[in-house]
C-alpha cells in the first residue's frame, strides 16, 4: 500500500495563476458572513469593539491568510499531509484528555503560545483529510469490504471516543456525521447502511441509559419541556426563542436587541449569536443569512462535483458538510428544535479555533477548486 | 496497471449521485430552519414580542405621600417630614463595605450594631441595591455627609418621607401610629403598595380607621431592567394619587392640656361638645411615642410598654371598661322620676338588710344621711336611696334607661377597638351564667357596681345626654379628603323635662352645694360653674370584718387594690356646652377627689379657651355645614 509520490499534473501552476483562479465569489460570501458576525459581536457587547468584535476581526484576518495560503498549496500536498495531520490532531486530543484526568479538571483546549487551541476542532478537518485520503484508494466495492470499513470506522471512532469523554457531545456528533457522510459518498453499500441505521435507532435508549452524562440528559429533558423549568435550565431555550420571535419580520434594528443587550440571552456571543441576529434583523435578515450560508454550501458542492480526483471530491464535500453540520446543529438547537449541545454558528460565533479551522477548511476547498484539473491515480498518496 | 479505470468512473458516478442526495438533504434542513424562523418570527412574533417587553420592562411602585391629619383648628397632628438618610451601594464601595462604613462612622454617629445590620442587609441584597445605613439624620449631619461625599465611594445621600407626630404621646390613642406591614396584613390586602419595601400602614386609631383614604393610590415608574434586575433607565412615570387629608374634631391644645393634667396617672378622660358630640379631647394616660413604632420599636421599649401596670398600649377611653359606680345614679334618678318616684324620700340609716345580706351606704359610720330625696341622693351620693330606686324599678327598666343614655353598647366612634361595656339584664345573666337573676344584684346595679361596666367614652356620652336631653353620640371626624362626614340629628331622649331638670339640679348640688361630694373642687369663677357626679368603683370586695375593724384608708392600700375614681360633669351650669368624663384608675381618695380636680381644671381651661366659640379651621364653612343638616 506504500505509494511513491509522483505528479501527474498536465501543467504546473504559478502562484499568480493560483491566486487568479481562486473562487473569489466564494471568498466574498465568506467575508460577508464573517463581517456580519463581527457586527453582531459589536452589537451584543452593547456597541463596543471589545471584548469580542475586535478579537474576532483579528482572528478572521489571520484565518483569511491561512485560507489563501491553503488554497495556493497543491491538493496533492494536502493529500500527503493527511495522515500526519490526523496523527498530530489525535495526539493533541489525547494530551488534553490526559491533562484533564491528571487533575486540571475537564478541559477542552491547550495553550499554543497566545492561541487557545481546541484539538477537537482540528480533529474535524484532520479526519476529513485522512478519510478522504484513505477512501481515495478504494473503489466502490472495496469501500464495503469489512476490513476497509473497519479501518475507516476505527479512524472515525477513536477520535470520537476521545472527544466524547472530554466531554463534548456536539463535536462528537459532528465528527461522526462527517465520517459517516464521507463513507456514504465513497459508495458504502446499502447492505451496510440499512442495518446500521436500524441498529442506531435501537441503540438510542441504551445510550440514554449508559452513555450520556447527567447534564446532557438534563439538556434533553429541558429541551423536551423547557417551560417546566423556565427559570432554571430551560432559561436558555426560552430566552433564545423569545429573542428570535420578538425580532418579527424586520427586527428591532442594529444595536436595538433588548434580549441580548439586557443579558437575557445566555452565551450571546458564542453559541447563541444567531438569536441576536434574528432579534435585530428579523425574519428578513435571518433568511438572508441562511441564503448566504446556502450559497457557500452550493459553491462547495459545485467544487466537489467539478474536481477530478476522488480525494479532492471527498475532501471538498467533507469540508462543505462539516460547515453545514455546524449550521444545522446550531440552528436547530438555538431555535428549540433539538436539545442544547455546545456547537457554535460557523463564521458568526465568537471563538478563535472554530474560526481558524473553518477558514482553513475553506482554504482546502479553494485549493481543490484551484487544482481541480489535477488528476490523482487511485494508488497515489500525494506528492511529498 | 492503468492510472484510471472503469472503477474510477463508477465511483465518480456514485459520488455524484450521492452528492446530489446529500445536497437534497441539506436543502431540506435549510427549509426546516427557514420554516422554524417563519413560525417563531412571523406566526408567533407578536407573542414573543410581548414576552420580550415583559422581560425588559419592570413596573416599580412609587409610594404616594400619606394624607395628613388636622385638628379642628387646622393644626397638623400627623404629617410627613423629610427623612434625611444615607444609603450604601455595595458595588460602588470601591474600598470594601466595612471600610466605607468606618469612613461614614467618622462623619456621623454610627454604632457597631448599625454597622452589623448594614453588612447583613448588604449581603442579602444584590450588589447594586442601595441599603439604608442611617435614617432620620439632622440637617447638619446630612450636610456633613454631602460635604464629604467625594471621599465616600458608594454612599448615596437620600431624602425620603417619614410620618411625624408633633404631639407625640399626647395624641397617640386618637391618632394611632404607622408601622411596617405584617405578613398577615399583606395576605389580607391586595393593594400593590402593601408589598413595597419600607411601606408603613396605620396600626391603631385614626391612622388605622382611615388607612385606605390616608394611604392614597400607588404610583408607578416604568423602568427598563436587565436580566439581573438592574435598572437601566426610566421609561415613564405615573405619580399616583396622594393620600387624602383627614380633619378631626379634636382641639390639639385642649388635648395637650388634658394629657399633661392627667400626667403620669393611669387614667382616661374624654371631653365632648355636649350639643353635637364632637370629641374635643380623648386622652388615655400614660401614652407612648408613636414615632417609635414608625422607626421600629426596640426590645426594651416594647417590654416596658407591654408589661407596665399602667397599660400604656391600651386606649382606656374606649377600650377600658369600669364599673361606673355612683355616676350611674344619675341614670337611675332619671328613670325614677319618670316611674313615679319624683317625690320619693328614703330614710338612710347607713345600712339596709335584704334577706341575710346587709348593704351599706358610705355614710354608715355617721349613722346615715337621714331623709333623702332624689336630688339630695345625687348630691350626697346616698347608696340607700338608690338601692330603693333600683328595687322599685327592677333590673329590666334600669337597663332600658341605661341603654337610652348610651351605655351598654359601643358608641360607634370612628376608632378601632371600641368596647361596649355591659348593662346586665335577667336574660343576659341566664344566657351568660345559666342562673336566675337575684334581687341583691338589682340593688348593686343601682349604684353602678356588680356587672355594670362602661367606658369613659360612654360616661362622657351619658354626661352630654344628661346635659342636653338629646341622644348625642360622640363623633371624631369632620372631613375625609373632600367628603364631609354626615351624622344623624340627635333625637330627643325618652325622658321628661322634669326628670332632666331634677337630675341636673342634683348634679349641680353635688358640686356647688355644701355637703356635695365634689364641693371641695368646684369651679369658683362665676359663669364657669360645672355640675357633676362622682363615682367610685371597687376593685375588691370589702369584708364584714374590715367594716367592723375600720376600713383601711385607700392611700394605705397597695396601688392595684385601690378603688377607681370616676367623675362625669358638664359646664357651664346653665346651657351646658362641654361634657367631660374621667376615670382615674386606682386613684380613690374620698378627701381630695383628685379626679374632680382634674375635671375642674379641664373644664375651666376649655371654657376660658372657648374651644367651641372659636371659628374653626375646618375646610368647609360652618354655615354650609349646618345648612346641610348636620348638627352643630
Q: Where are the domains of chain A?
A: 15-370
At what angle are helices A24-44 and A273-306 packed, to 10 degrees?
A: 170
Model pLDDT, residue B355: 77
B590-629 tens-digit pLDDT: 677 889 999 999 999 999 988 888 877 776 544 344 433 3
Phi, psi at residue B229, to the nearest 5°? 90, 5
Measured distance CA(B178)–CA(B294) in Å, rounded: 6
At what angle are helices A352-370 and A53-72 packed, to 10 degrees?
A: 30
Measured distance CA(A72)–CA(A67) in Å, rounded: 9
Q: Of the candidates B233, B228, B199, B229, which has an alpha carbon nearest to the alpha carbon of residue B214?
A: B199
Nearest neighbour of B40 by CB, restricted to A244, A290, A314: A244
Residue A198: C-alpha distances to residues A151, A191, A202, B26 (Å): 22, 12, 6, 22
Measured distance CA(A308)–CA(B265) in Å, rounded: 114
> What is the pLDDT averaged over residues B384-398?
93
B268, B456 Cβ separation under 8 angstroms: yes
Which residue of chain B has the CA closest to A274?
B37
A45-64 tens-digit pLDDT: 988 998 899 999 999 999 99
Measured distance CA(A16)–CA(A56) in Å, rounded: 29
Is residue B428 over pLDDT 90? yes
- CA of A239 to nearest chain B CA: how many angstroms apart? 8
**Which of A105-114, A218-227, B83-92, B493-502 ranks highest by mean pLDDT?**
B493-502
3-state secondary structure of A52: coil
Which residue of chain A has the CA closest to B230?
A262
Judge: A283–B38 Cβ closer than 8 Å, yes or no: yes
Label residues A166-188 b or e (16+ Cβ within 10 Å = b): bbbbbbbbbbbbbbbbbbbbbbb
Q: Which CATH number fits domain B252-287+314-627: 3.40.710.10, 3.40.50.300, 3.40.50.720, 3.30.413.10?
A: 3.40.710.10
Cα angle value B32/B36/B38 (rounded, 5°)? 115
Question: Which of B249, B283, B284, B326 is flagged as catalytic?
Answer: B326
Nearest neighbour of A377 by CB, restricted to B4, B22, B40: B4
Which residue of chain B has the CA closest to A314?
B15
Measured distance CA(B22)–CA(B80) in Å, rounded: 77
Phi, psi at residue B231, to the nearest 5°? -75, 125
Q: Starting at the edge strand that comes first in sequence, how are the strands of the sheet with B57-62 ordered?
A: B57-62, B219-225, B231-238
Is residue A293 over pLDDT 80? yes
Interface of B with A in 64-123 (CB under 8 A): none
Judge: A378–B19 Cβ closer than 8 Å, yes or no: no
Band of the pLDDT at A3, cuts 50, 70, 90?
very low
> What is the pLDDT averaged over residues B520-534?
92
3-state secondary structure of B562: coil
Query: In a 10 Å sphere around its CB, with 0-12 CB exposed, 13-18 middle and 19+ buried, how is residue A221 labelled?
Result: middle
Q: Of the candidates A251, A248, A61, A92, which has an alpha carbon nearest to the alpha carbon of residue A162?
A: A92
3-state secondary structure of A166: coil
Measured distance CA(A326)–CA(A335) in Å, rounded: 14
3-state secondary structure of B333: helix
B451-487 tens-digit pLDDT: 999 999 999 999 999 999 999 999 999 888 888 888 8
> Does the beta carbon of B11 lie under 8 angstroms from any beta carbon of chain A?
yes
What percentage of residues in chain B have a pLDDT greater than 70?
94
Judge: A186–B11 Cβ closer than 8 Å, yes or no: yes
The residue of B6, B24, B40 whose CB has the most chain A CBs within 10 angstroms, and thus the best one to mutate to test that interface, is: B40
Contacts of A148 (CB under 8 A, 6+ apart): A138, A142
At what angle are helices B6-37 and A273-306 packed, to 10 degrees?
A: 160
3-state secondary structure of A376: coil
Alpha helices (runs of H) in A211-351, residue ranges in sequence order:
214-224, 235-246, 258-261, 273-306, 310-334
Measured distance CA(A291)–CA(B107) in Å, rounded: 66
Which chain A residues contact residue B49 at CB under 8 A? Answer: 245-246, 248
> What is the pLDDT averaged over residues B215-243?
80
3-state secondary structure of B228: coil
Which chain A residues contact residue B23 at CB under 8 A? Answer: 301
Which chain A residues contact residue B3 at CB under 8 A? Answer: 8, 375, 377-378
Q: How many CB atoms lie within 10 A of CB A104?
A: 10
B573-595 tens-digit pLDDT: 989 999 999 999 988 776 778 89
Nearest neighbour of A301 by CB, restricted to B12, B23, B46: B23
Band of the pLDDT at A226, cuts 50, 70, 90?
low
Which chain A residues contact residue B35 at CB under 8 A? Answer: none
B1-25 tens-digit pLDDT: 456 778 888 888 999 999 999 999 9
Q: Give CA torsion, residues B519, B525, B526, B530, to 10 deg.
A: -50
> Does the beta carbon of B559 lie under 8 angstroms from any beta carbon of chain A?
no
Bridge partners (DSSP) of residue B163 are: B80
Band of the pLDDT at B36, cuts 50, 70, 90?
very high
B334, B503 Cβ separation under 8 angstroms: yes
Model pLDDT, residue A227: 60
H or E element: which one contains A207?
A: helix A190-210
Model pLDDT, residue B117: 82
Which chain A residues contact residue B22 at CB under 8 A? Answer: 181, 184-185, 301, 317, 321
Model pLDDT, residue A384: 59
- Give yes or no for a cis peptide into B389 (omega within 30° of 0): no
> What is the pLDDT averaged over residues A201-229?
74
- CA of A132 to nearest chain B CA: how many angstroms apart? 12
The residue of B47, B52, B53, B229 whose CB has the most chain A CBs within 10 angstroms, and thus the best one to mutate to test that interface, is: B52
Cα angle value A93/A99/A102 (rounded, 5°)? 140
Interface of B with A in 20-49 (CB under 8 A): 22-23, 26-27, 29-30, 32-34, 36-38, 40-42, 44-49
**Which of A180-189, B94-103, B139-148, B154-163 ranks highest by mean pLDDT?**
A180-189
Measured distance CA(A346)–CA(A325) in Å, rounded: 10
> What is the pLDDT averaged over residues B235-252?
88
Q: Of the candidates B40, B283, B34, B310, which has an alpha carbon nearest to the alpha carbon of residue B171?
A: B283
Model pLDDT, residue B197: 65
Judge: B14–A258 Cβ closer than 8 Å, yes or no: no
Bridge partners (DSSP) of residue B143 are: none
Which chain B residues contact residue A293 at CB under 8 A? Answer: 30
The residue of B13, B14, B15 whose CB has the most chain A CBs within 10 angstroms, and thus the best one to mutate to test that interface, is: B15
Nearest neighbour of B10 by CB, restricted to A140, A264, A327: A140
At what angle are helices A146-164 and A75-99 packed, to 10 degrees?
A: 50
Label residues B45-55 b or e (16+ Cβ within 10 Å = b): beebbebbeeb
Least confident interval from A163-172, A375-384, B468-477: A375-384
Model pLDDT, residue B550: 66
B581, B248 Cβ separation under 8 angstroms: no
Judge: A278–B26 Cβ closer than 8 Å, yes or no: no
Is residue B427 over pLDDT 60? yes
Model pLDDT, residue A125: 94
Average pLDDT of the residues of chain B: 87
Judge: A244–B34 Cβ closer than 8 Å, yes or no: no
Judge: B44–A245 Cβ closer than 8 Å, yes or no: yes
Measured distance CA(A275)–CA(B433) in Å, rounded: 79
Judge: B7–A378 Cβ closer than 8 Å, yes or no: yes
3-state secondary structure of A271: coil
Which residue of chain B has the CA closest to A325?
B26
Model pLDDT, residue B624: 41
Measured distance CA(A301)–CA(A373) in Å, rounded: 16
Measured distance CA(B135)–CA(B84) in Å, rounded: 6
Which chain B residues contact residue A282 at CB under 8 A? Answer: 41
Q: What is the CATH number of domain B60-248?
A: 3.90.1310.10
Model pLDDT, residue B252: 92
**Among this protein's residues, is B326 annotated catalytic?**
yes
Strands B69-70 and B246-248, sheet pairing: parallel
Which residue of chain B has the CA closest to A183?
B15
- CA of A97 to nearest chain B CA: how many angstroms apart? 33
A59, A353 Cβ separation under 8 angstroms: no
Model pLDDT, residue A112: 65
Label residues B475-501 b or e (16+ Cβ within 10 Å = b): bbbbbbbeebbebeebeebebeeebbe
Band of the pLDDT at A243, cuts 50, 70, 90?
very high
- CA of A214 to nearest chain B CA: how many angstroms apart? 27
- CA of B279 to nearest chain A CA: how many angstroms apart? 57
Q: How many CB atoms lie within 10 A of CB A45?
A: 19
Model pLDDT, residue B603: 95
Query: In a 10 Å sphere around its CB, with 0-12 CB exposed, 13-18 middle and 19+ buried, how is residue A4 labelled?
Result: exposed
A301, A239 Cβ separation under 8 angstroms: no
Judge: A185–B34 Cβ closer than 8 Å, yes or no: no
How many beta-carbon pairs below 8 A join chains A and B? 152
Residues of chain B with CATH 3.40.710.10: 252-287+314-627
The DSSP letter of residue B65 is P
Model pLDDT, residue A84: 95
- CA of A332 to nearest chain B CA: how many angstroms apart? 7
B52, B40 Cβ separation under 8 angstroms: no
What percentage of residues in chain B have a pLDDT greater than 90?
47
Q: How many CB atoms lie within 10 A of CB A24?
A: 12
Is residue B229 over pLDDT 70? no
Measured distance CA(B326)–CA(B378) in Å, rounded: 9
The residue of A262, A266, A276, A325 whose CB has the most chain B CBs within 10 angstroms, and thus the best one to mutate to test that interface, is: A262
Please compute, for residue A249, the number of CA atoms within 13 A of its CA located in the half-sphere on the CB side.
0
Q: Residue B168 region, left (φ>0) first, then alpha (ψ -120 to 50), else beta?
A: left
Least confident interval from B263-277, B352-366, B565-579: B352-366
A11-35 tens-digit pLDDT: 567 788 888 888 899 999 999 999 9
Measured distance CA(B389)–CA(B482) in Å, rounded: 50
CA max distance for chain B = 158
Amino acid at each position: 500500500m506504500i505509494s511513491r509520490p509522483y505528479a501527474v499534473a498536465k501543467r504546473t501552476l504559478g502562484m499568480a495563476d493560483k491566486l487568479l483562479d481562486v473562487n473569489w465569489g466564494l471568498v466574498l460570501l465568506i467575508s460577508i458572513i464573517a463581517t456580519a458576525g463581527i457586527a453582531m459581536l459589536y452589537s451584543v457587547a452593547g456597541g463596543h469593539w471589545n471584548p469580542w468584535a475586535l478579537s474576532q476581526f483579528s482572528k478572521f484576518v489571520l484565518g483569511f491568510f491561512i485560507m489563501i495560503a491553503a488554497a495556493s498549496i497543491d491538493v496533492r500536498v494536502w493529500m500527503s499531509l493527511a495522515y500526519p495531520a490526523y496523527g498530530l490532531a489525535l495526539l493533541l486530543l489525547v494530551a488534553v484528555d490526559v491533562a484533564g484526568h491528571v487533575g486540571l479538571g475537564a478541559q477542552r483546549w491547550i495553550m499554543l503560545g497566545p492561541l487557545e487551541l481546541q484539538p477537537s476542532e482540528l480533529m474535524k478537518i484532520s479526519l476529513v483529510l485522512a478519510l478522504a485520503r484513505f477512501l481515495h484508494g478504494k473503489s466502490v466495492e472495496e469501500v464495503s469490504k469489512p476490513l476497509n470499513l473497519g479501518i475507516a470506522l476505527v479512524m472515525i471512532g477513536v477520535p470520537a471516543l476521545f472527544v466524547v469523554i472530554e466531554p463534548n457531545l456536539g463535536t462528537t456528533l459532528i465528527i461522526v456525521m462527517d465520517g459517516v457522510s464521507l463513507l456514504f459518498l465513497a459508495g458504502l453499500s446499502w447492505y451496510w447502511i440499512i442495518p446500521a441505521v436500524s441498529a442506531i435507532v435501537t441503540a438510542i435508549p441504551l445510550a440514554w441509559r449508559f452513555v450520556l452524562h447527567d447534564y446532557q440528559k438534563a439538556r434533553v429533558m429541558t429541551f423536551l419541556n423547557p417551560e417546566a423549568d423556565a427559570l432554571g435550565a430551560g432559561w436558555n431555550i426560552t430566552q433564545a426563542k423569545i429573542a428570535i420571535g420578538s425580532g418579527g419580520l424586520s427586527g428591532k434594528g442594529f444595536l436595538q436587541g433588548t434580549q441580548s443587550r439586557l443579558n437575557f440571552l445566555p452565551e450571546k456571543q458564542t453559541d447563541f449569536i444567531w438569536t441576536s441576529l434574528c432579534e435585530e434583523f428579523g425574519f428578513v435578515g435571518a433568511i438572508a443569512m441562511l441564503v448566504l450560508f446556502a450559497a457557500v454550501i452550493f459553491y462547495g458542492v459545485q467544487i466537489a462535483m467539478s474536481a477530478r480526483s476522488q480525494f479532492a471530491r471527498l475532501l471538498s464535500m467533507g469540508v462543505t458538510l462539516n460547515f453545514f453540520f455546524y449550521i444545522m446543529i446550531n440552528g436547530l438547537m438555538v431555535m428549540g428544535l433539538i436539545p442544547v449541545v455546545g456547537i457554535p454558528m460557523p463564521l458568526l460565533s465568537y471563538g478563535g479555533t472554530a474560526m481558524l479551522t473553518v477558514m482553513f477548511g475553506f482554504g482546502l476547498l479553494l485549493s481543490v477548486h484551484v487544482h481541480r484539473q489535477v488528476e490523482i491515480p487511485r494508488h497515489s498518496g500525494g506528492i511529498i | 496497471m492503468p492510472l484510471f479505470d472503469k472503477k474510477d468512473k463508477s465511483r465518480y458516478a456514485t459520488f455524484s449521485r450521492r452528492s446530489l442526495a446529500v445536497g437534497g438533504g441539506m436543502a431540506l434542513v435549510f427549509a426546516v430552519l427557514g420554516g422554524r424562523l417563519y413560525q417563531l418570527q412571523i406566526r408567533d412574533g407578536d407573542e414573543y414580542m410581548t414576552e420580550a417587553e415583559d422581560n425588559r420592562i419592570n413596573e416599580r411602585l412609587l409610594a404616594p405621600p400619606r394624607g395628613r391629619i388636622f385638628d379642628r383648628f387646622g393644626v397638623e397632628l400627623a404629617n410627613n417630614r423629610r427623612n434625611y438618610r444615607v444609603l450604601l451601594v455595595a458595588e460602588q464601595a470601591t474600598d470594601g463595605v466595612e471600610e466605607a462604613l468606618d469612613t461614614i462612622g467618622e462623619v456621623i454617629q454610627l454604632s457597631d450594631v448599625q454597622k452589623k445590620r448594614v453588612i447583613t442587609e448588604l449581603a442579602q441584597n444584590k450588589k447594586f441595591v442601595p441599603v439604608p445605613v442611617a435614617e432620620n439624620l439632622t440637617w447638619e449631619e446630612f450636610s456633613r455627609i454631602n460635604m464629604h461625599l467625594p471621599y465616600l465611594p458608594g454612599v448615596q445621600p437620600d431624602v425620603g418621607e417619614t410620618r411625624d407626630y408633633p404631639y407625640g404621646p399626647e395624641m397617640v390613642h386618637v391618632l394611632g401610629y404607622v408601622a411596617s406591614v405584617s405578613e398577615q396584613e399583606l395576605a389580607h390586602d391586595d393593594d400593590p403598595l402593601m408589598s413595597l419595601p419600607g411601606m408603613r400602614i396605620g396600626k391603631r386609631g385614626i391612622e388605622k380607621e382611615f388607612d385606605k383614604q390616608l394611604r392614597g393610590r400607588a404610583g408607578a415608574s416604568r423602568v427598563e431592567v436587565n436580566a439581573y434586575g438592574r435598572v437601566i433607565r426610566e421609561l415613564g412615570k405615573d405619580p399616583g394619587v396622594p393620600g387624602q387629608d383627614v380633619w378631626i374634631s379634636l382641639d390639639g391644645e385642649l388635648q395637650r392640656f388634658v394629657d399633661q393634667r392627667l400626667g403620669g396617672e393611669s387614667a382616661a378622660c374624654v371631653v365632648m361638645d355636649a350639643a353635637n358630640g364632637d370629641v374635643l379631647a380623648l386622652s388615655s394616660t400614660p401614652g407612648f411615642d408613636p414615632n417609635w413604632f414608625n422607626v421600629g420599636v426596640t426590645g426594651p421599649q416594647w417590654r416596658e410598654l407591654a408589661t407596665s401596670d399602667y397599660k400604656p398600649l391600651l386606649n382606656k377611653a374606649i377600650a377600658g371598661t369600669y364599673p361606673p359606680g355612683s355616676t350611674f345614679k344619675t341614670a337611675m334618678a332619671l328613670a325614677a322620676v319618670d316611674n313615679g318616684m319624683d317625690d320619693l324620700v328614703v330614710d338612710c340609716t347607713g345600712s339596709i338588710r335584704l334577706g341575710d345580706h346587709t348593704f351599706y351606704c358610705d355614710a354608715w359610720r355617721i349613722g346615715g344621711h337621714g331623709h333623702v330625696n332624689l336630688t339630695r341622693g345625687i348630691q350626697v351620693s346616698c347608696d340607700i336611696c338608690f338601692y330603693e330606686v333600683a328595687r322599685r324599678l327592677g333590673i329590666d327598666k334600669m337597663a332600658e334607661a341605661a341603654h337610652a343614655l348610651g351605655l351598654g353598647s359601643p358608641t360607634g366612634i370612628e376608632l378601632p377597638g371600641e368596647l361596649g361595656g355591659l348593662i346586665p339584664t335577667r336574660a343576659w345573666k341566664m344566657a351568660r351564667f345559666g342562673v336566675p337573676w337575684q334581687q341583691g344584684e338589682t340593688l348593686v346595679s343601682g349604684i353602678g357596681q356588680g356587672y355594670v361596666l362602661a367606658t369613659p367614652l360612654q360616661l362622657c356620652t351619658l354626661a352630654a345626654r344628661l346635659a342636653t336631653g338629646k341622644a348625642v353620640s360622640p363623633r371624631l371626624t369632620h372631613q375625609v379628603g373632600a367628603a364631609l362626614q354626615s351624622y344623624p340629628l340627635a333625637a330627643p331622649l325618652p325622658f321628661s323635662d322634669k326628670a332632666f331638670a331634677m337630675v341636673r339640679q342634683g348634679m349641680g348640688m353635688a358640686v356647688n352645694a355644701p355637703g356635695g361630694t365634689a364641693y371641695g373642687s368646684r369651679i369658683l369663677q362665676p359663669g364657669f360653674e360645672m355640675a357633676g357626679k362622682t363615682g367610685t368603683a371597687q376593685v375588691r370586695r370589702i369584708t364584714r370584718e374590715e367594716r367592723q375593724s375600720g376600713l383601711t384608708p385607700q392611700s394605705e392600700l397597695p396601688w392595684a387594690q385601690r378603688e377607681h375614681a370616676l367623675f362625669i360633669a358638664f359646664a357651664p351650669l346653665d346651657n351646658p356646652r362641654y361634657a367631660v368624663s374621667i376615670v382615674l384608675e386606682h386613684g380613690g381618695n374620698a378627701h381630695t377627689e383628685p379626679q374632680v380636680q382634674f375635671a375642674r381644671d379641664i373644664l375651666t381651661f376649655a371654657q376660658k379657651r372657648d374651644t367651641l366659640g372659636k371659628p374653626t379651621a375646618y375646610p368647609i364653612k360652618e354655615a354650609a355645614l349646618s345648612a346641610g343638616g348636620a348638627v352643630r
